[in-house]
Structure 1
């Protein structure tokens, strides 16, 4: 057999790159916090398949498949046959070579895919659950499953889920599946999700890459299609502590539709509430790494928001200020831990500063802080009002000045009165 020409190799490479949708996290990001990208209890797809700490959940996958086959009166070969036709297409979605043979790979797609579909069906339909199903009797299991199923590396192609759902439900009910997933991941987000709009979702569900892509689409900001993200330079801003000193006020904005709707009006920064739990870092990190691999002109809103908070938060004092205004809901308890979380989220992340979606807000804040009155207030607070004792001293000095003025005026009035006499 003659060796392939370089032209043929380049053509194959081009096709392979276009079809890849599931990657491994590169080492620079993984080294910052490896655990954020590792599944806790379940392996989905080939990258974490066979890991010792995840084998326990394989029995739950088999149990869900067995129950489905019984209830639908179907043979597992029906599923394997149909998914087997998609084996090569699904395999090409993975950026790394998969060592499993065609049968092993197809069976993994069926087992993992059916588990995901049955899980979200049971999550939204109590009547479908077994009486003693441990997945729904132990909250920590569901909490870990919601996290694990959106991990960047822990994915199977979305079109496989659509094919399997057609075998489980009436074919073509893909919008129903999308709704099931949206409900399942509902409390995964650390803040509001605008469910009335889905502008970011592709028109056809089979254009969605995988579950993390769907989570990213569902959290897309309501303002993104109209917000000014033209390339421009901007100035950085101080942390919350510095902005307070520069006469900037903070207010929790309850009228926004998503976490990413940030405003700055008349010296007041308006932010939605964000709840920080033990899974927040993993959720944000996996959404950020998704944006790193699939960048376009309008997809890096999570990276931009985390960058925005990184400017606002330098220390535990900044977290305390934002918590006081009910902008941060800290379930971790330790303000220093939250500060460190946001200070490290941007490590090894490529940030497109020229397309920063908050550039206008940063400019407005900078203009506010550079106004003479606000600069004067900042200096006053920095030099004279930086501690309780300093504030007391200023108040005492002010009272002394006032009393001195009163005494002087009284003396002058007394002299004038004597002159008239």
Structure 2
């Protein structure tokens, strides 16, 4: 009887939990990075000066910007000749339930705290973007008067965990400026153009695409990555597999050439030449890539993960410092970090603990063509010949002299024969 009573108690407890559990909302799009990714570089996911959204709200080192948020809201109201933020508060109150569902992790804020957060964070972002267009310029602005703050703000606003739902920003922008969503997308992308990560010109998003944007990081990803509906079909019979590093490929006759006027993902292979756009590598490159990769890892697994695939390809090409030096020589990468070892370590660690769909790998056809080239012995022999005998005028002269001597020797032998 005692055992049955215990079972019954557990059963009641489970039933109560099931009754309270409403299921995971489909709208979830703002997550916390899982520990396997975070531990590789924790600082890449942590805001330096600005908390946006609930996950980092209240941290002591980020409190300085809370006063700036209030200052920006006040300047907004003065600019719009308003004395109260009531209409903005009411609009955020209507969006609270929908916005809460966007956060995958529990949010322990009261209703008033959550609305307060959406209003202050959203208005701050909009005013920040407008200041770059001279709409909300202020000569005494604390941020634009200090060069280092703009740099860290840009990084903080693209952090995977540091986001507001995009529809919150669109609603506030409509209330503040009264213009179409396309205008806000324009000024947002204008702000992120300063990221200088060689992603190329932003892709123009139509209204339906704008309505699907989840947050600012997603906007950056959608606008800079190729159209997901335009895909290179994987040729039949191709099995996914990595290629050799750049220095080994060069020994097999593969040449590297910088692609001009192209976005980061426009990588092609033709007639033994691998064409890759230039990437400038600087201090913000790693957190920039890591947060875009995290966004892809938590997204739809059937979509092409362009950033992840690009980093995998670069990881294949870079095994050690010799490969970094080779890619610098051919202007594939521009190293602003310092030593080649730093760049090598960055790419070698970027893809740790990542999952990709082999069949959807963006560069499967290219990898297959490169492997096919390297399997042909003739290509390796020709590459060795060029490297050892044709790499300088003197080496070529020596080779030709030896060849002529060999021909003369054979000729003399033939004529001397009885």
TM-score bucket (shorter structure)? 0.7 to 0.9
Q: Is residue 344 from structure 1 mapped to residue 349 from structure 2 by the alignment? A: yes
Question: Does 2:375 correspond to 1:370?
Answer: yes
> Which of residues 56, 60, 72 is equivalent to 2:64?
56
Give 1:377 deviation, angstroms.
3.6
Deviation at 1:44? 0.4
Q: 1:412 to 1:128 in 2, by over 3 A?
A: same
Shift of 1:376: 2.1
- Residue 115 of structure 2: which of 79, 102, 106 is its match? 106
Give the 3 Å change call, closer, same or farther, for CA 202–213 of structure 1 in structure 2. farther
**TM-score w.r.t. structure 1 length?**
0.87
**Partner of residue 274, structure 2:** 269
Provide the aligned length of Structure 1 versus Structure 2. Answer: 403
Q: 1:206 to 1:409 in 2, by over 3 A?
A: closer
Deviation of 1:188 (Å): 1.4
Matching of residue 43 in structure 1 with residue 51 in structure 2: yes
Distance 1:93 1:412, change over 3 A: closer
**What is the SS of the residue equivalent to 1:271?**
strand
Instruction: Report the Cα offset of residue 279 of structure 1.
Output: 0.4
Distance 1:406 1:61, change over 3 A: same
Q: CA deviation at 1:133?
A: 1.4
Cα distance in 2, alignment partners of residues 153 and 187 from structure 1: 21
Counterpart Cα distance in 2 of 1:233 and 1:9? 47
Instruction: Tell me, in whole angstroms, the C-alpha distance in 2 between the residues paired with 1:219 and 1:91.
Output: 28
Measured after TM superposition, the shift of residue 273 of structure 1 is: 0.9
Deviation of 1:26 after TM superposition, in Å, equals 0.2
2:38 pairs with 1:30:
yes
Instruction: Look up the match of 1:252.
Output: 258
- The residue that corresponds to 2:136 in the other structure is 128
**Mapped partners of 2:228, 2:81: distance in 1:** 47
1:142-193: CA deviations, max 9, x gaps? Answer: 11111110100001111111111121111x5111001111111112151132
Matched, 1:240 2:246: yes
- 1:197 & 1:103 partners in 2: Cα distance? 37
> 1:161 pairs with 169, 184, 191, which one?
169
| Cα distance in 2, alignment partners of residues 290 and 107 from structure 1 | 26
TM-score (norm 2): 0.88
Q: 1:146 aligns with which of 154, 157, 170?
A: 154
Q: Which of the numbers 185, 190, 197 marks the counterpart of 1:190?
A: 197
Partner of 1:295: 300
CA contact (8 A) 2:198 2:278 kept: yes
Paired with 1:167 and 1:62, the residues of 2 have a C-alpha distance of 18
Gaps (5+ residues) in structure 1?
none
Deviation at 1:321, TM superposition (A): 0.9
Alignment equivalent of 1:281, drawn from 281, 286, 301: 286
RMSD between superposed Cα atoms in Å = 2.9
Candidates 54, 75, 79, aligned match of 1:71: 79
CA contact (8 A) 1:259 1:272 kept: yes
C-alpha distance in structure 2 between counterparts of 1:296 and 1:131, whole Å? 47
CA change 1:315–1:163 in 2 (3 A) is same
SS in structure 1 opposite 2:365?
Answer: helix
Is this contact kept in 2: 1:245–1:378, CA < 8 A?
Answer: yes
1:30 is displaced (CA, Å) by: 0.2
Q: The residue matched to 2:280 in structure 1 has which SS?
A: strand
Instruction: Supply the distance in 2 between the matched residues of 1:255 and 1:193 (Cα, whole angstroms).
Output: 8
Q: Does 1:326 align with 2:331?
A: yes
- The aligned residue for residue 92 of structure 1 is 101
SS in 1 for 2:109: coil
Long gaps (5+) in structure 2: 1-11
TM-superposition CA deviations, 1:35-92 (whole Å, max 9, x none): 1101111010111111111111111111100111111122122211221122222122
**Shift in CA distance, 368/61, structure 1 to aligned 2, threshold 3 Å:** same
SS of aligned partner of 2:26: helix
| Cα distance change, pair 362–135 in 1 and its aligned pair in 2 (3 A) | same
Shift of 1:245: 0.5
Residue 19 in 1 paired to residue 27 in 2?
yes
CA distance in 2, matches of 1:337, 1:224: 36
Task: Report the secondary structure of 1:259's partner residue.
Answer: coil
- Per the alignment, in what secondary structure is the counterpart of residue 49 of structure 2? coil
Pair 375,224 (structure 1): closer, same or farther in 2 beyond 3 Å = farther
| Aligned-partner SS, 1:135 | coil
Cα deviation, residue 333, structure 1: 2.4
How far 1:411 moved relative to its partner? 8.5
Question: Following TM superposition, by how much is the alpha carbon of 1:207 offset from its aligned partner in structure 2, in angstroms?
Answer: 2.4
Q: 1:319 to 1:67 in 2, by over 3 A?
A: same
Q: 2:127 aligns with which of 80, 99, 118?
A: 118
